[in-house]
Amino acid sequence: MLFSEKDVHGRLYEIAIFEIVLYPENMKPIIGINLDVTGGSPPQAAIQSTYFEAVQKAGGIPVLLPPMPDSDLDDLFRSLQGLMLIGGLDYCPTKYGEQASSLVELCDPRREDFDFRLIDRTISRTDMPILGICAGAQLLNIALGGSLIQDINSELPDTQVVHTINAGWQANPHKHPINLKLSSQLGKIYKSDRLNVPTSHHQSVKKLGQGLIAVAHADDGIIEAIELEGRPFTIGVQWHPERDFEGNADLFKHFVQAASRMHVQKAPSTSAKLSS
């Protein structure tokens, strides 16, 4: 908001006033969640209920984010205290400088375009906590300059770890063990160096993006979790914690607690422009 005034010499100057939004301490944090987009007439934007239910159970208020222009996204950031990035189909390998193999199943380009604008703006313009799940973890890695294994079974044909099954989520969630660094944020949350996690993915992190560290691996060496150093609660997990809330409740609770500390939105410093 700009106010124009004249100084004692009659010169006009403008003062830019930036709003600082204060939230009550007992207000639940608002968590933005991106959506999957599928073609059709008309196209659909949807989400599995387990994602937003996990946020609700952990004490947050989920707000679903369909693809939108940057101007709307910037306005929306004034109201969000956290961001969850959900799973889905594959992001185009051209995003990390590779051609897509025949085993890649691309997500809708409208989702891809929005998701990358969303993560880029969140990291560069806010300190909001980020929790990336499955494809959401891969999005975080790609956005920071990393790359993916396009198909685990093609890259590691002799692996004994089953990362996904044909039945998908039609059966009970498939699980496999992972090894977790106790010194990591996730290690401190789970308080264990060995977890059995619900999983359904055929891709994974290959080259780490800038500032990211690998904090969990499957027994075959596949990266199962990443964290961004130097930024509060920026975590990506390759598994699906929302499919086993009771076993992963502490992850969601720590995420929502980190978001609750974002009640005071940072504002740019007041600036003045002087003209003669």
CA dist 229 and 216 (Å) reads 15
Looking at residue 274, what is its pLDDT? 34
Catalytic positions, please? 134, 240, 242
Segments of the chain with pLDDT less than 70: 1-25, 166-172, 263-276
111-115's contacts with Cβ under 8 Å and 24+ in sequence apart are 111/34, 111/35, 111/36, 111/37, 111/67, 113/67, 114/34, 114/66, 114/67, 114/68, 115/34, 115/85, 115/91, 115/139
Looking at residue 16, what is its pLDDT? 44
Q: Listing from the earlier edge strand, what are the strands of the sheet with 271-275?
A: 2-6, 12-16, 271-275
Question: How many separate domains does the chain show?
Answer: 1
Residue span of the structural domain in which 245 resides: 2-275
Looking at residue 27, what is its pLDDT? 85
66-73's contacts with Cβ under 8 Å and 24+ in sequence apart are 66/35, 66/37, 66/114, 67/35, 67/37, 67/110, 67/111, 67/113, 67/114, 68/114, 70/117, 70/121, 73/117, 73/118, 73/121
CA dist 162 and 150 (Å) reads 16
Looking at residue 262, what is its pLDDT? 81
Looking at residue 166, what is its pLDDT? 67
Cβ-contact 209, 236 below 8 angstroms: no
What CATH number should be reported for the domain holding residue 265?
3.40.50.880
Single-letter residue type at 250 = D
Looking at residue 248, what is its pLDDT? 98
